[in-house]
Amino acid sequence: MGKLDGKTVLITGGSSGIGLASAKLFLEQGARLAITGRDPDGLARVREELGGDVLTIRSDTANLTEIASLMQQVERRFTRLDVLFVNAAIATAAPMELVSETQFDDIMGINFKGAFFTIQKALPLFSGAASIIVTTSIANQLGSPNFSVYGASKAALRSLVQSLALELISRGIRINAISPGPIATPIFDRFGLPPAVADGIKTEIAQKSPSKRFGLPSEVAKVALFLASDDAAYVVGEEIVVDGGMSLL
């Protein structure tokens, strides 16, 4: 018996990295699944990889009209939602002086505003006990030079999870966060840095980590499964850190 048998799940940013690993695990555990991303080619590849009857939807989480359309499509297919995994995000690097308004708005628009309105627009689809999981980051509590906007977007999400936990629990909706440390996903290649610099950062992080390695997306997915499932029925407003000990330093 799967831990998500009969449950309907939407994962934003389910076409890569942590979201994709979670999609695979959730499917194995019996979920009926919808995932989003922006890149149609990436989504088509993932649809093939996941097989079965996964609903793949191209939807920009920064765009409220697209979020509304996403929820309509999910409702048409599943009628209701049991689990929402708010995971889509971007991380681009720049020192304070070089952060443009566009970069600031892109990061906050996707990572915070997009997450906020994804949750808001999904609420009518929840009909009983439900779980919302938000991917934050250890950058929300550590100083992160050159990632000040990203870190702040994730700190905003941590705060949001605490407030919504109290707003939503009376409706049977649990909301919790997962806070990953360094996880081996394509996000590091999307920092907007030259490959040699990105590789240098990765090596430095792995050396610094108490576990001396990056985490695997599947190791985060297992924590997401716990929070999604009834095993976490009494876990409310928490943030589970999955970082190999990095944030203890």
Ligand X SMILES: NC(=O)c1ccc[n+]([C@@H]2O[C@H](COP(=O)([O-])OP(=O)(O)OC[C@H]3O[C@@H](n4cnc5c(N)ncnc54)[C@H](OP(=O)(O)O)[C@@H]3O)[C@@H](O)[C@H]2O)c1
The one among 7, 9, 10, 15 contacting ligand X by CB under 6 A: 15
CA distance 35 to 229: 18
91 near ligand X, rule: CB under 6 A: yes
- Give least dist CB 200 to ligand X, A: 16
Which of 17, 140, 144, 232 forms a contact with ligand X (CB under 6 A)? 17
Is residue 240 close enough to count as binding ligand X by CB under 6 A? Answer: no
Which CB sits closer to ligand X, 4 or 182?
182
* CA–CA gap between residue 230 and residue 92 (Å, rounded): 35
150 is catalytic: yes
Q: Taking CB under 6 A as the criterion, which residues in 151-210 touch ligand X?
A: 180, 182-183, 185-187, 190
Q: Is 57 in the site for ligand X (CB under 6 A)?
A: no
238 binds ligand X (CB under 6 A): no
Q: Could you tell me the smallest distance in angstroms from the CB atom of residue 25 to ligand X? A: 14
- Candidate list 150, 188, 191, 214, residue with the active-site label: 150
Least Å distance, CB 177 to ligand X, is: 10
- Alpha-carbon distance of 100 to 177, in angstroms, equals 29
One residue of 42, 99, 113, 226 binding ligand X per CB under 6 A: 42
Does 244 bind ligand X (CB under 6 A)? Our answer is: no
Contact positions with ligand X (CB under 6 A) in 96-125: 110
Among 61, 140, 176, 209, binds ligand X (CB under 6 A): 61
State which residue, 41 or 171, has the beta carbon closest to ligand X. Answer: 41
Report, in Å, the least distance between residue 168 CB and ligand X: 20
- Compute how many residues bind ligand X; rule: CB under 6 A: 31
In Å, what is the CA distance from 3 to each residue of 65, 154, 220, 224, 228? 33, 28, 16, 12, 9
Binding site for ligand X (CB under 6 A): 12-13, 15-19, 36-39, 42, 59-62, 87-91, 110, 135, 137, 180, 182-183, 185-187, 190
User: Catalytic residue positions?
Assistant: 150
